[in-house]
Amino acid sequence: MSGSVKSEQLRLGFLETLEIEGRGYVGGLLITNNFGRPLEFQCTTPVKPNRPQEILYGGSLLPWLLGELIGGTLLERVSIKPDLVVTSDPDILELRNHTQIPVVCALAEQEPDGIPVTPGSTMRFGGQRLRFHDAHPVDADRLAGQRHLIPDQADLTEPLERVREALAETVRTVFAR
């Protein structure tokens, strides 16, 4: 046995949001090492768009709210900055326009309607196919150099379940009053 082991490290961020009926959205960001062991977690208080925001943002409301506002806040708050942010919500990809950190959406092998995902904007990483922001194709090249740090069959969607559970627990114990 030895003490601490110096090795190439990859920090992963897992970002999810949860809608609370009547109170808006909360978001959570879990930072783990490349094996999924948790290092830091931050979550927001509920935020609800007002009526003018709903009208004026229109279709861009959720990308702004979930990606820029919630995602951006969480990314600022964490002390351990991730090398990659993984989410399951395509709206959160908007976060990439406000940070230098690659943001990816973990996809099922096929879209719900059975149409295979566009091959040009995705790549396989760990056990998942990841979708990148269309405006940042360079992210795929950056991640390709770190592929070896993630086991080929790693389940990158599992930590997102933990974030959702943690958010639900937080809402239940803190915000439900």
What span, in angstroms and rounded, lies between the C-alpha atoms of 128 and 154?
8
From the CB of 141, what's the least distance to other proteins, in Å? 25
Angle at 129 between CA 132 and CA 6, to 5 degrees: 85
Amino acid present at 71: G
Smallest gap from Cβ 138 to other proteins, in A, equals 26
| Residue of the chain from 10, 61, 73, 146 that contacts other proteins (CB under 8 A) | 73
- The yes or no reply on residue 59 touching other proteins (CB under 8 A) is no
Taking the C-alpha atoms of residue 150 and residue 147, their distance in angstroms, rounded to an integer, is: 6
- Size of interface with other proteins, in residues (CB under 8 A): 47
Q: Is residue 44 a contact residue for other proteins (CB under 8 A)?
A: yes
CA dist 133 and 84 (Å) reads 13
Judged by CB under 8 A, the chain residues 85 through 144 that form the site for other proteins are 127-128
What is the C-alpha to C-alpha distance for residues 176 and 106, in angstroms, rounded to an integer?
30
Residues at the site binding other proteins, with contacts judged by CB under 8 A:
1-5, 30, 32, 35-45, 47, 52-53, 56, 69-70, 72-74, 77-79, 127-128, 151-155, 157-159, 162, 165-166, 169-170, 173-174
